[in-house]
Amino acid sequence: MTETIARNPLSVALRYGALSVLAFAVVCPLAWLALASLRPQAEIFQPVSEFGWRTFVPSALTLDNYRALLNGDFPLALRNSSIVALTTVVFGLVVNALAGFAFAAFEFRGKNFLFLLVIVSFMMPFEAVVMPLYVMINSFGWTNSYKALIVPEVANGMIIFLFRQFFASIPKDFYEAARVDGASWLYIWAFIAMPLSWPTIATSSLMLFLSQWDSFFWPVVAASDPNYAVVQVAIARNINFEENNWGGLFASTNLAIIIGMIPFLLMQRFYVRSLISGGIK
Amino acid sequence: MVSSRLTPFLFLAPALIGLAVFRLAPIVIAVAGSMTGASLMGDLSFVGLENFQYLLTDPEFWSSLHVTLIFNLIINPLQLAVAFALALLVFQPGRAIWLYRTLLVLPMAVSTGLSAVLFGLFLDGNLGPFNGFLEWIGIGAQPFHRGQEQALGTLIGIATWKGAGYWMLFLLAGLYSIPSTVHEAAMIDGATAWQRFRLVTLPLMRKPMAFVLVADTAINFLFFAPVYILTSGGPSGATSVLMYQAYLSAFTFSDLGRSQAISTILLLIILMIVALELRLLRSPEDRA
């Protein structure tokens, strides 16, 4: 077996050495930010000449930077992002699961063509249509509203695809049996198919949540008004305007990263599996 | 059963209308908009290919196209290579490998925008530790994204930090799909580890590698957030990629026609890439 390579002590050492260096390169900036966000204001600036372990480890840990966030624009940004992301999750699950069910359970004209459109829609990155989409949303009079941030993101080809894959794996007899008992298709979808699909619901929720929590380009274009600034936009603004509240920027950036990371870590397994099935299948 | 013929379409309608309106219609709008002289105020006039003709004579467009192409020629092979190296490193089971795997994919949970902010701080001379470290080991402080020569490279580095673990996952799945019997047979034939890699692994990984390269290229042609956040296209145009030009044209210069013309060009490139991707996924080879 291939194990013989792994057992050679030198190659084991090389492998773990390389992995450790790479893992350090990945984690170091994140760990530095997390620690820096807990620094007292007075210690934020780090003269280039004074590199040492103090560069990473604060002399005292304080939540002052986080407390200071409460008075700035960050709570509003958190609220905006939460409203946008959670609404998208709820509507996105229903709308895309319905479509996925239709592709899996029904035979109808144009099915293959429509499914191809779904696939093309998720292979084409959203950023490609941001500028023309802005022209459209602007003509609807939607700019600077939650509508502009939510509605275009509800229908999602990737999520339709994932639900189709799941629903197609349930034997059709299952649905037919319920049909014979007189259940409507909507009833079958809501009370038979959906409850079975909880792993897909979980990953889809995460994907929809992250797609909104992480989005930057579209919010910058469509909702530039400070009242509708989402977390990413609010943070990006604070790094450019020469603000004095660097501690606040550290804290808000760290918080935004952690909020995105926790659900990812909890559901990593499901998430990765779905992602790959969408790419390779 | 009159309703049953309609049922599928009722289930499909909300999602498909959403995709048609917010994903497909914008393509038409971009093409139509690229042929109109429109200001943000909304005065429209048909100008045919004038916007494109104008673009072709605009040195800023050519310089931006140049930057975009250089950026893509470097970043896509680089990300593929790094992702492949990572996949090979974490492929075989071993002590604590799951931990390394988790750490390496961690940046995919950090948005591109936040990655840019993170490194903006990390690489800053006064706020971050990295330049202090470079001084300490004797290399000396570097300008990174603020330097004409280093800005594009810095953005490539940040994007690779964020993206490599993500693409690794697809290559890892590819490695798992190679039957272990193939490797065993090669070993029995006396192939060395390097020979097995070059003659067995590499050819069988062609498809996942092609997928990663193509999908990554589609994303990187639309690179925007780090440029907007860290460099504003500068210093003196060094990072002014096409997507940023499309944004600037619309929002700084109020030249929507130019913006839509650039968007159309980008969409054309992206649709070609998607077509390539579809062909790749459909090709019947190695369905094993």
Residue owning tokens 């379409």: B9
| Both tokens assigned to A11 | 């190659």
Query: What pLDDT is recorded for position B38?
Result: 59
Most confident of A47-61, B180-194, B233-247: B233-247
- Whose CA is closest to A133, among A115, A116, A152? A152
Query: Are both A71 and A196 inside the same structural domain?
Result: yes
- What chain B residue is nearest to A186 in terms of C-alpha separation? B11
CA–CA–CA angle B75, B146, B69 (5° rounding):
30
What's the CATH code of the domain at A198?
Answer: 1.10.3720.10
Most confident of A110-114, A171-175, A180-184, B183-187: A110-114
The minimum CA-CA distance between B243 and chain A, rounded to whole Å, is: 9
**pLDDT tier, A83 (very low <50, low <70, confident <90, very high otherwise):** very high
**Spatial separation of the C-alpha atoms in residues A140 and B26, rounded to whole Å:** 13
Query: Are both A214 and A145 inside the same structural domain?
Result: yes
**Spatial separation of the C-alpha atoms in residues B221 and A273, rounded to whole Å:** 26
Query: Are both A47 and A133 inside the same structural domain?
Result: no
* Chain B residues near residue A189 by CB distance under 8 angstroms: 11
Query: Are both A173 and A229 inside the same structural domain?
Result: yes
Tell me, yes or no, if B114 comes closer than 8 A to chain A by beta carbon.
yes
* Chain A residues near residue B126 by CB distance under 8 angstroms: 45-48
Q: Report the pLDDT averaged over residues A128-139.
A: 91
Q: Where are the domains of chain B?
A: 59-282
DSSP states of chain B: -HHHHHHHHHHHHHHHHHHIIIIIHHHHHHHHHHTB---TT----B-TTHHHHHHHT-HHHHHHHHHHHHHHHHHHHHHHHHHHHHHHHHHS--TTHHHHHHHHHGGGGS-HHHHHHHHHHHT-TTT-SHHHHHHHTTS----GGGSTTTHHHHHHHHHHHHHHHHHHHHHHHHHHTS-HHHHHHHHHTT--HHHHIIIIIHHHTHHHHHHHHHHHHHHHTT--HHIIIIITT-STTTT--HHHHHHHHHHTS--HHHHHHHHHHHHHHHHHHHHHHHHHHH--S---
**Spatial separation of the C-alpha atoms in residues B288 and B284, rounded to whole Å:** 10
Query: What pLDDT is recorded for position B92?
Result: 86
- Pair A146, A88: CB distance under 8 Å: no
Query: Are both A29 and A111 inside the same structural domain?
Result: no
Query: What pLDDT is recorded for position A259?
Result: 92
Tell me, yes or no, if B149 comes closer than 8 A to chain A by beta carbon.
no
Query: Are both A36 and A49 inside the same structural domain?
Result: yes
- Is it the case that residue A4 has pLDDT exceeding 50? no
By the 10 Å C-beta count (0-12 exposed, 13-18 middle, 19+ buried), A106 is classed as middle
Tell me, yes or no, if A228 comes closer than 8 A to chain B by beta carbon.
no
Query: What pLDDT is recorded for position A275?
Result: 77
**Cis link prior to A199 (omega < 30° from 0)?**
no
Query: Are both A155 and A254 inside the same structural domain?
Result: yes
- Between helix B206-220 and helix B59-91 the angle, nearest 10°, is 140
Range of the domain at A22: 3-64
Query: Are both A55 and A72 inside the same structural domain?
Result: no
Residue owning tokens 């620094």: A39
Its sign, for the CA torsion A239, A243, A246, A252, is: negative
What radius of gyration, in Å, describes the C-alpha atoms of chain B? 23
- Taking an 8 Å cut-off on Cβ atoms, the answer to whether A216 and B126 are in contact is no
CB contacts < 8 Å between A and B, how many? 279
pLDDT single digits (tens) A186-245: 999 999 899 999 989 999 999 999 999 999 999 999 998 889 999 999 998 888 766 667
- Is it the case that residue A62 has pLDDT exceeding 90? no
Query: Are both A176 and A236 inside the same structural domain?
Result: yes
Q: Which amino acid is at A117?
A: L
**Spatial separation of the C-alpha atoms in residues A55 and A61, rounded to whole Å:** 14
Residues paired with residue B46 on neighbouring β-strands, in sequence order:
B36
Query: What pLDDT is recorded for position A218?
Result: 94
Query: Are both A59 and A72 inside the same structural domain?
Result: no
Domains in chain A, number: 2
- Is it the case that residue B26 has pLDDT exceeding 80? yes
The minimum CA-CA distance between B153 and chain A, rounded to whole Å, is: 17
Query: Are both A88 and A174 inside the same structural domain?
Result: yes
Specify the fold of B59-282: MetI-like fold (1.10.3720)
- Taking an 8 Å cut-off on Cβ atoms, the answer to whether A51 and B135 are in contact is yes
**pLDDT tier, A67 (very low <50, low <70, confident <90, very high otherwise):** confident
Residues with Cβ within 8 Å of residue A85, at least 6 apart in sequence:
A208, A209, A212, A213
Q: Which letter does DSSP use for residue A170 in this model?
A: S
B121 or A274, which is more confident: B121
Query: What pLDDT is recorded for position B51?
Result: 84
The minimum CA-CA distance between B136 and chain A, rounded to whole Å, is: 6
Give contacts of B 37-76 with A, CB under 8 A.
none
The minimum CA-CA distance between A85 and chain B, rounded to whole Å, is: 14
Q: What is the pTM of this model?
A: 0.88
3-state secondary structure of A145: coil
Residues with Cβ within 8 Å of residue A141, at least 6 apart in sequence:
none
Model ipTM value: 0.87
Question: Diameter of chain A by CA atoms?
Answer: 79
Query: Are both A47 and A87 inside the same structural domain?
Result: no
- Whose CA is closest to B114, among A38, A224, A31, A231? A231
Domain end (from A28, A46, A64): A64
- Taking an 8 Å cut-off on Cβ atoms, the answer to whether A6 and B263 are in contact is no
Query: What pLDDT is recorded for position B196?
Result: 87
* Chain B residues near residue A250 by CB distance under 8 angstroms: 121
